[in-house]
Copies of this chain bind each other. A is one copy, B any other.
Amino acid sequence: MQTRTRRRKGNAREARRELRQAAAGKNPVHAGLEGGGYKPLKQTDLEKIHSTALDVLETIGIGDPSPEVLEYAIDAGCWLDDNQRLCFPKTLIEDTIAGAAREYTIYSRSPAHADVHVGGYHVNYSTSGEAVSIYEPEDRSFRPSKLVDLYDLGRLVDTLSNIHQFGQMVIPTELTDPVEHDFNVAYALLAATQKPCEMTFTDAKNVRPTIEMFDMVLGGEGRFAKKPFLSFGGCPIVSPLRFGEDNLELLVETSKLGLINDIAIAPQAGATSPAAIAGTLAQVTAEGLACLAIVNIINPGCPMTFAIWPFISDLRTGSFTGGSGEEALAMSACAQIGRFYDLPTSVAASMTDSKLPDAQAGFEKGITAVTAGLAGANRILESAGMLGSLMGCSYEALMIDNDMLGMAQRVVAGIEVNDETLSMDVMREVALGAGHYLGQPQTLELMETDYLYPELADRSAPGAWEEEGSLDIMARAQQSVKQILSTHYPDHLDAKTDAAIRAKFPVRLATKDMHPGNGRW
């Protein structure tokens, strides 16, 4: 009996696979869905926040401008006040907003994956996080993350359809030399996936040589500049209201080069921005507009993500809480502020304070991920695999979050209302006839295009679930991680290019770790 049941299940799966292939590209969920149905702020709120941010920039200003930035800014009409803070006239900020890039694209290196279009109400989910540790489920502990983890996490993302960009999830803690760090992070991303990528540089001097590496991969000088497949992270602001030296230098460099400035501005409410969330929004908006002004003074129209990321403190301890309701609200509000300015945005969502992928991680991630998407954030970073308020990263959480993000995106995708979908004729036929819609042609037609089926989430009958061992989603995720990572060694760099890169750069990812049988999985 059991064999027959299994066989039937196999056939059903096969039939579904065929139907899915037939419906390919019609999946209800994909990169670039339109968000915007959720508006946490009223129009008057947005105007007040904007007006306060302009006041802040004109009368409080931003501290610690570098000499180079100062020269650019003074030329453009800014001034240093008595406290040596750089103040921005309102007209300059208004002109900056009017002239700034409205959108940009991070390209996929393969037609198998979508490009990430950043602007309008488009919604894309990306990993990122730069955690320093990896969660070990066997003993519920964390170990330092290594370069090979970044590569393995990328291989996993390469297979996960609800994650549209692979941003740097972990830091290779064994690489302490900034040069080695930057080149090796770049290499690990390239080797792991052809999806659009994101990384952060520890030294602005490494940007140009790394672009040479990218051009080698694309097969010719200047190709990366034409179709960039990677955005450049960094935090040029040290809140409250000061520039950060190293990352400001990076911002200047990438602006000069006309690259995508994929910054993040992350004050922490109650610690480095006001405890009142509205005040935090005003401050982070001012900090974001200051960066936007600098980028546009240096290179008018150069793309910059309006990436205002207000983090939240647990005010009992002062420590960062990424999984709070306040966090969901603040990030969604920032997505809306970005739309108010019609700028390309990113936010951080799907964070959790839990140290493992339990029910807490589930609801904290689900609530923050869906609200950010509904608010129309263009790129939602930190959105998969992160644990412990970004302290750690988990292979299993990454798998689980892929399902969670699918569900969130199904909500963002919304409901199509037209004469056909309103189904008057189908209702009449069924109400007067069979009394049941299961066999209706409409039902069969929509089952693969309007409905999303999870990969890991369990929908079996209770009896079947018990028969299969009463597993939770964590156990199923562990099985899937092992299955994928022991077999999926993609061939994204051809041998010749790989050899050329290794000849030119100090690549530390061992060739044996890039093939099956290395004993890791």
Contacts and interface: CB of A to CB of B under 8 A. Distances in A.
B472 A431 contact: no
Given A277-B415, A422-B48, A435 B240 contact: yes
Nearest to A279: B423
B459 A321 contact: yes
B283 A427 contact: yes
Interface residues of A, number: 133
Contacts of A271: 436-438
B451 A315 contact: yes
6 contacts: A38-B38, A49-B422, A278-B423, A358-B474, A363-B400, A364-B407
Contact of A241 (B63, B403, B427, B474): B427
Nearest to A62: B431
A411 B356 CA distance: 23
Contact of A443 (B315, B400, B428): B315
Contact of A421 (B276, B416, B442): B276
A157 interface: no
A484 interface: no
Given A56-B427, A360-B458, A432-B83, A324 B452 contact: yes
A202 B422 CA distance: 34
A52 B426 CA distance: 12
Contacts of A222: none
A132 B424 CA distance: 36
Interface in A408-425: 408-411, 413-418, 420-424
Interface stretch (A39-47, A97-105, A173-181, A511-519): A39-47
Given A16-B316, A40-B414, 8 more contacts: A140-B466, A140-B470, A142-B462, A270-B438, A353-B458, A358-B358, A360-B362, A363-B365
Contacts of A274: 423, 426-427, 430, 437, 440, 442-443
Complex A-B, nearest 10 residue pairs according to Cβ-Cβ distance, in ascending order: A362-B362, A325-B410, A279-B423, A363-B366, A366-B366, A278-B421, A358-B472, A359-B362, A315-B447, A274-B423
Contact of A472 (B45, B83, B272, B356): B356
Contacts of A371: 370, 374, 411
Interface in A446-472: 446-447, 450-453, 456-459, 461-462, 465-466, 470, 472
Number of copies: 2
Contacts of A259: none
Contacts of A333: 415
A328 interface: yes
Given A360-B403, A422-B279, A354 B391 contact: no
Contacts of A472: 354, 356, 358-360
A188 B319 CA distance: 43
B414 A275 contact: no
Contact of A275 (B279, B329, B363, B447): B447
Nearest to A278: B421
A285 B397 CA distance: 39
A357 interface: yes
A404 B48 CA distance: 31
A296 interface: no
